[in-house]
């Protein structure tokens, strides 16, 4: 029988992001403080989001509304990255993106943390945009999950395929 293992991934449910986006758009269209500033939030590609408003303050406030909706939908703010407002004609635009997958430098950093601080006999293998962690004992794997949850890695991590 194979050793117990689990995967460390950074994935976001696109449907939940879409729901948060729709809720934010609805709130921007109905809230009193957003009347007359043409505040909009919309998809700008597969993982990109555009937030627009006529003033810089309203654009930043619209970003905060979208972040609130992400939190309510159970999506970590570490998975959303927003730029500063940029003027485009008469409109301020904020470009944001949803971060999916673990970058190779982050994966190496996580593997080093597991190797240095984790229990003995636990290995981490980088597999594309995720890590496979395996070990002899399930208790050691749970210790690794607790270790990674305790670290501030600036990336939203999920633990899947625990077996």
- Report the alpha-carbon distance of residue 88 to residue 57 in Å, rounded: 15
Q: Count of residues for the chain? A: 163
pLDDT of residue 1: 56
- The pLDDT assigned to 36 comes to 87
What are the residue ranges spanned by the domains of the chain?
A: 5-11+102-160, 14-98
Q: What's the pLDDT score for residue 163?
A: 86
pLDDT value of residue 39: 92
Contact 4, 163 (CB under 8 A): yes
Q: Which CATH architecture has domain 14-98?
A: 2-Layer Sandwich (3.30)
CA–CA separation, 121 vs 42, rounded Å?
47
Q: Do domains 5-11+102-160 and 14-98 have the same CATH topology?
A: yes
* pLDDT value of residue 162: 86
Nearest to 21 by CA among 49, 46, 56: 49
pTM for this entry: 0.86
115 φ/ψ angles, rounded to the nearest 5 degrees: -65, -45
User: For 93-124, b where at least 16 C-beta lie within 10 A, e where not — what string?
Assistant: bbbbbbbeebeeebbeebbebbeeebbeebeb
Per-residue pLDDT tens listing for the chain (163 residues): 578 999 999 999 999 999 999 999 999 999 999 988 899 999 998 889 999 999 999 999 999 999 999 999 999 999 999 999 999 889 999 999 999 999 999 999 999 999 999 899 999 999 989 999 999 999 999 999 999 999 888 898 999 988 8
Q: Where are the alpha helices (DSSP H) in the chain?
A: 14-30, 56-72, 104-117, 138-150
CATH code at 5-11+102-160 = 3.30.70.860
The number of helix segments (H) and strand segments (E) in the chain equals 4, 9
């Amino acid at each position: 029988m194979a050793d117990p293992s689990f995967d460390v991934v950074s994935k976001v449910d696109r449907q939940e992001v879409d729901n948060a986006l729709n809720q934010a758009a609805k709130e921007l269209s109905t809230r009193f403080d957003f009347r007359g500033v043409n505040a909009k939030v919309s998809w700008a590609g597969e993982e990109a989001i555009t937030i627009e408003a006529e003033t810089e303050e309203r654009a930043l406030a619209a970003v905060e509304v979208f972040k609130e909706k992400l939190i309510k939908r159970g999506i970590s703010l570490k998975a959303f990255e927003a730029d500063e407002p940029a003027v485009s004609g008469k409109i301020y635009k904020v470009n944001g993106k949803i971060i999916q997958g673990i970058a190779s430098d982050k994966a190496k950093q996580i593997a080093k943390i597991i190797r240095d601080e984790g229990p003995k006999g636990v290995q981490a293998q980088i597999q594309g945009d995720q890590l496979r962690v395996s070990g002899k004992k399930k208790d050691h794997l749970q210790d690794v999950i607790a270790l990674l949850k305790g670290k501030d890695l600036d990336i939203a991590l999920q633990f899947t395929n625990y077996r």
